[in-house]
Structure 1
Amino acid sequence: MLHNAARRPARLIPLAFLIATLLGTALLSLPAATAGPGQAPLLTALFTAVSAVCVTGLIVQDTAVYWSFFGQCVILLLFQIGGLGIMSGATLLGLMVKRRLQLSSRLVAQQETRSLGLGDVTGVLRLILLVTLSVELVVTAILTLHFRLSYDLTWSKALWDGLFHAVSAFNNAGFSTYSDSLMSFATDPVILVPVMLAVIIGGLGFPVLYEFRRDQRGKPWTIHTRITLWGSAVLLFGGMVAILFYEWSNPGTLGGMSLGDKLLSGLFTSAVARTAGFNSLDVSQFEAQTLAVHYFLMFVGGGSAGTAGGIKVTTFFLLFFFIWAEIRGNADTVAFRRRISYATQRQALTVLFLGSLTVAIGTMILLSVTRLELGVVLFEVISAFATVGLSTGITADLPASGQLVIIALMFIGRVGTITLATALALRSVTKHYRYPEERPIVG
């Protein structure tokens, strides 16, 4: 089965994530994984394992209280694996053992890294490991020292909290060793800024980071990099402005803060809304308009081939350029003086449609098995599908059937877009005939 799947990356990636999930569930089901007596129920272990591997951060039990040190170590390992990409890690291991990549292995690795060419795969994979370790170590050092010196934690506690949050931030996982996530540090820039930067770097995507380090010799950035960078900036600061506008006087969130703290929390909230899952503000106290802003930010997500989820920044802005071209009556879709192929436009439309359909179906099912309001259900569903991890506080109260729906959404959101993109790319077939054209009425 593995041999057959290895020849088809679209099948191998979900299988690899499934295996990691099952192993994580088994480990979290051990008595040693829980802080109290006994062991975690199977559904709790499964939900937590899926959330960690899919770098989501939704929880049904308080990570800081329910899980033991061993359990927290398992969770950290799972979201590190999920963030790196199992195929990337497997290919790196293959490089160390065989010192070379077979063509089939390169194709598998290219699918997870979205490398621009087969010859770049080795460099991209090395960069993944280098950037991951570098960012996580730097952020760990900053957080550890600050926890120790400013909050008087023991060195061991400060180191563990620093490491856990650094790895969780870079992998956009959103898990925290504090029961209120980062709400206790809502006015502390030394905590929020490093975490936010790690989230942003991890969410840009490794092809963009690879292009940063590569010697361009005067060559312009690729369209992918330009759209990712400009799109991320627009979403980050646009989201910040919207959040500040709606929450400025809300006593449950920003109302009692100083100007500087409001700006910091607004920027942090906008950054983590696009799949990181941490929160420095009480999500349950958000205004309805702020929740709507989050619907959009969460659904779009971050950059392709990074640790973020969602339909991706490039997908959304490619569709924006496509619609703009249609409005202006242009035959070609152009972005940054480059024409976007019809195949790419069709892939973006397909990802958007299937993502929207998945959210709609998940929302309908969850409404059917609960008595919750549409707004909080939709927030939970988008958060799960986009692997964000933010919640208004309903996750633990969902019935077993509702939690299974969330599990499915997290898994689909993490591996479904990867699988879909691969299938679309590999199934490109040239037909030697075309049917007669007809124009139905649109609109």
Structure 2
Amino acid sequence: MKELRKRGIWDWSPPRVLSAGFVMIILLGGLLLSLPYASADGEGTNLLDAIFTATSATCVTGLVVVDTGTHYSVAGQIVIMLLIQTGGLGFMTMTTLFALVIRKRISYKERLILQEAMNQQSMEGIVRLIRKVIFYSLSIELTGALLYAIRFAADMPLGRAAYLGLFHGISMFNNAGFDLFGDFRSLTGYVNDPAVNIITMLLIVLGGLGFVVLSDLLHFRGIRKLSLHSKVVLSMTGVLIVTGAAVIFLFEFSNARTLGSLGPGGKVLAAFFQSVTTRTAGANTVDIGALRQGTVFFMIILMFIGASPGSTGGGIKTTTFMTLIGAAIAMMRGREDVVLFRYRLERGRIYKALTLTILSLGLVIAVTMILCTTEDRDFLRILFETTSAFGTVGLSTGITSTLTPVGKIMICLTMFAGRLGPMTLAYALGPKAEKELYRHPEGKIIIG
């Protein structure tokens, strides 16, 4: 047994535990969704399609190869809802919830894994943070479910409205984008409905801010101060949403297949909704496949940036993007330090942001090149699909259901890498890091 422990089989690092945990949940979910009881017709689902759906739900993405509302039975939809909840909060958070319920002590190793899962710098107060995460999440989801149910009750029986409210409350807060309205139409039937649009956008934004930011906001009245992290997240989120809405509004204003057929208020509402949903949510109120190429390319950029650290969303994250912008500005001004809101960032943070961006860009490029070979689709649609999978967004121009088996597998792997994060996956697959015993002499190369 000691020899096995030395080899690392029984002493996995936190990234490996997280990766293995997500794989187990996906495989279990895929198996459950492939069984006859989970499909509406009772004939079961192709195993690859079931695993694709389980991956999309666990990685809170929203890309689907079969229509969730018509293909799966209520039991299958409940499995998807549970996978979304587990994947959104993280399986270690769910495990901690059960441990707290039965009053089990959280071990040091479990705290290390929680620290990695929540992307925290230290273990200090990690269990307290998990309690807040669980409380905030359930409170927001239930509030969203109630508001949805009240609105849907005007169109359908109360029981059905309550069920749809619960499903979409969980799906939208976790930025999953799954819906039960059928025919792959998402929320297009509510494009002019202020209530559904506003409820959904609030859930998406709250889920994408990150639990640390939510905690800061809730305690702001008492301390009258926000952390640097919260300032960066809130400012960048606001800039991206407003900029995204403005660009989409201008580019699609005269497009009769998207915003062109809507009134002035509907155009503004739809523009903001499509901008917010690129925060890795995946719901849409207009036909994404009908957007102009300029809009599609701009949304690819927004999806690549994604949500914020410690949230239910994906992408390289708003803080990473802000750090890169700060580094570029500092370099252009001839300054050594990257300063955000009068705080200097340590070099390690800048290296990490650069590394994460390069790894993410490399992943998107590699998968896009493979899909361009296996799929008979134009380049921009494939790039959009790949970026949507990496950013765990779930938006699609309509090609997901027509993917080849190889294409489905590649998108599954991309969603998995996007949810865990390229760096976490690299740590999980790579050898254990060892401290360098020496430094090489400094060299100079010409840049630019």
TM-score range, shorter chain: over 0.9
d(CA) in 2 for partners of 1:390, 1:202: 17
Distance apart, 1:98 and its partner CA: 4.2
d(CA) in 2 for partners of 1:12, 1:267: 38
- Does the CA contact (< 8 Å) of 2:205 and 2:279 recur in 1? no
Aligned counterpart for 1:155 among listed residues 146, 152, 158: 158
1:438 aligns to what? Answer: 443
Aligned counterpart for 1:201 among listed residues 206, 209, 219: 206
1:134 aligns to what? Answer: 139
d(CA) in 2 for partners of 1:260, 1:422: 48
1:49 aligns to what? Answer: 54
1:334 counterpart SS class: strand
Residues 401-431 of structure 1 show CA distances to partners (whole Å, capped at 9, x for unaligned) of 111111111111111346159779x978664
Distance apart, 1:64 and its partner CA: 1.0
- Confirm or deny that 1:73 pairs with 2:48: no
Q: How does 1:336-415 map to 2 (within 5 A)?
A: 336-415=341-420
d(CA) in 2 for partners of 1:133, 1:174: 18
- Does the CA contact (< 8 Å) of 2:19 and 2:428 recur in 1? no
Q: Which moved more, 1:116-125 or 1:175-184?
A: 116-125
d(CA) in 2 for partners of 1:100, 1:223: 32
- Does the CA contact (< 8 Å) of 2:212 and 2:310 recur in 1? yes
Distance apart, 1:437 and its partner CA: 1.2
Aligned counterpart for 1:233 among listed residues 232, 238, 253: 238
Distance apart, 1:99 and its partner CA: 4.3
d(CA) in 1 for partners of 2:305, 2:22: 22
Aligned counterpart for 1:308 among listed residues 305, 310, 313: 313
- Confirm or deny that 1:169 pairs with 2:172: yes
Q: How does 1:326-345 map to 2 (within 5 A)?
A: 326-345=331-350
1:377 counterpart SS class: helix
Q: How does 1:113-124 map to 2 (within 5 A)?
A: 113-115=118-120, 117-124=122-129
Change (3 A) 1:203 1:349: same
What's the % identity of the aligned pairs? Answer: 38
One-letter amino acid of the counterpart of residue 78, structure 1: L
Distance apart, 1:107 and its partner CA: 1.3
Distance apart, 1:118 and its partner CA: 2.2
d(CA) in 2 for partners of 1:218, 1:158: 40
- Does the CA contact (< 8 Å) of 2:57 and 2:83 recur in 1? yes
Change (3 A) 1:49 1:5: farther
- Does the CA contact (< 8 Å) of 1:113 and 1:124 recur in 2? no
1:290 aligns to what? Answer: 295
2:116 counterpart SS class: helix
Residues 205-247 of structure 1 show CA distances to partners (whole Å, capped at 9, x for unaligned) of 1111122334786574222111111010010101000000101
One-letter amino acid of the counterpart of residue 33, structure 2: L
- Does the CA contact (< 8 Å) of 2:356 and 2:423 recur in 1? no
Scaled by the length of structure 2, the TM-score of the pair is 0.94
Scaled by the length of structure 1, the TM-score of the pair is 0.95
d(CA) in 1 for partners of 2:218, 2:121: 14
One-letter amino acid of the counterpart of residue 158, structure 2: W
2:330 aligns to what? Answer: 325
d(CA) in 1 for partners of 2:217, 2:157: 38
- Does the CA contact (< 8 Å) of 2:204 and 2:279 recur in 1? no
Change (3 A) 1:360 1:278: same
Residues 23-65 of structure 1 show CA distances to partners (whole Å, capped at 9, x for unaligned) of 1011101101111141101111111000000000000001111
1:172 counterpart SS class: coil
d(CA) in 2 for partners of 1:35, 1:5: 42
1:132 counterpart SS class: helix
Change (3 A) 1:114 1:20: same
- Confirm or deny that 1:275 pairs with 2:291: no
Listed as ranges, the gaps of 5+ residues in structure 2 are none
d(CA) in 2 for partners of 1:214, 1:113: 20
One-letter amino acid of the counterpart of residue 395, structure 1: T
One-letter amino acid of the counterpart of residue 159, structure 1: A
Distance apart, 1:112 and its partner CA: 1.4
Listed as ranges, the gaps of 5+ residues in structure 1 are none
2:259 aligns to what? Answer: 254
- Does the CA contact (< 8 Å) of 2:13 and 2:428 recur in 1? no
- Does the CA contact (< 8 Å) of 2:359 and 2:422 recur in 1? no
- Confirm or deny that 1:63 pairs with 2:68: yes
Q: How does 1:79-90 map to 2 (within 5 A)?
A: 79-90=84-95
d(CA) in 1 for partners of 2:352, 2:426: 7
d(CA) in 2 for partners of 1:206, 1:162: 23
Change (3 A) 1:367 1:221: same
- Does the CA contact (< 8 Å) of 1:211 and 1:221 recur in 2? yes
2:250 aligns to what? Answer: 245
- Does the CA contact (< 8 Å) of 1:111 and 1:418 recur in 2? no
d(CA) in 2 for partners of 1:63, 1:211: 36
d(CA) in 2 for partners of 1:307, 1:232: 14
- Does the CA contact (< 8 Å) of 1:311 and 1:351 recur in 2? yes
One-letter amino acid of the counterpart of residue 157, structure 1: R
d(CA) in 2 for partners of 1:4, 1:207: 33
Distance apart, 1:89 and its partner CA: 1.5
- Does the CA contact (< 8 Å) of 2:304 and 2:316 recur in 1? yes
Change (3 A) 1:344 1:420: farther
d(CA) in 2 for partners of 1:133, 1:219: 26
One-letter amino acid of the counterpart of residue 90, structure 1: T
2:325 counterpart SS class: helix
d(CA) in 2 for partners of 1:349, 1:303: 16
